[in-house]
Amino acid sequence: MPAALRLGSTAPNFQAETTHGAIDFHQWLGDSFGILFSHPDDFTPVCTTELGEVAKQKAQFDKRGVKVIGLSANSIDSHDRWIQDIKDVSSAEVQFPIIGDEKREIATLYDMLDSLDETNVDNKGLPLTVRSVFFINPAKKIVAMITYPASVGRNFDEILRVLDSLQLSARLNGKITTPVNWQKGDRVIIAPPVKQEEADKLFPQGYETAKPYLRFAQLSKEQEGN
């Protein structure tokens, strides 16, 4: 049984066949941020809409320097046939790889499998792969995870929002966090460990102290990375 994955865990490496050929996962990631997202099955309605949305949003991931890779517990041949359906539905080209995981080895490694009961199995009686999302930083650490049941389609605008927050915090060395409903360009929170003297240097334009532990600041264009 693989060890439980937590925030800060090293993303387990694996070798796999994908629709873009064989990969070693860590080598494929290189020095990039990565998104690994799983699907219950090929030729299923929710998954088809999700992969189509990622295809349409590919330029947004590219702009952020993020590599995306899907996974479904089916063969590469099945994936290749499914991709045509995804194109038909979304009117977008699937330009990212999809992992073939017929034996559910990677799904097991990443603990992506649903509980085995009569409502959460495929037509072979095997547990479904849930809709997991792993955000992996350039150091190969898992920095965020989101899991949905098979019945709920993901919001990829939210996934991009999480990426923006993670990358912004990393760029500013963890000196800031992002508040509820934050969007890129909104005010951020100065992290509590940052002392006043350091905060004054970081934000010479000033900042708002709502509470001693809650300080809001508007980032400069340079700090935003614009």
The catalytic site residues sit at 47
With beta carbons less than 8 A apart as the criterion, state whether 150 and 40 touch: yes
Distance CA 224, CA 226 (A): 6
Strand residues in the chain grouped as ranges (E):
15-18, 21-24, 33-39, 66-72, 98-100, 131-136, 142-148, 176-177, 188-190, 208-211, 214-217
Residue 162 Cα distances to 104, 158, 194, 200, 208, angstroms? 27, 6, 22, 27, 24
Question: Which is nearest to 217 in space by CA: 225, 201, 226?
Answer: 201
Distance CA 126, CA 144 (A): 27
In this structure, which amino acid lies at residue 73?
Answer: A
In this structure, which amino acid lies at residue 80?
Answer: D
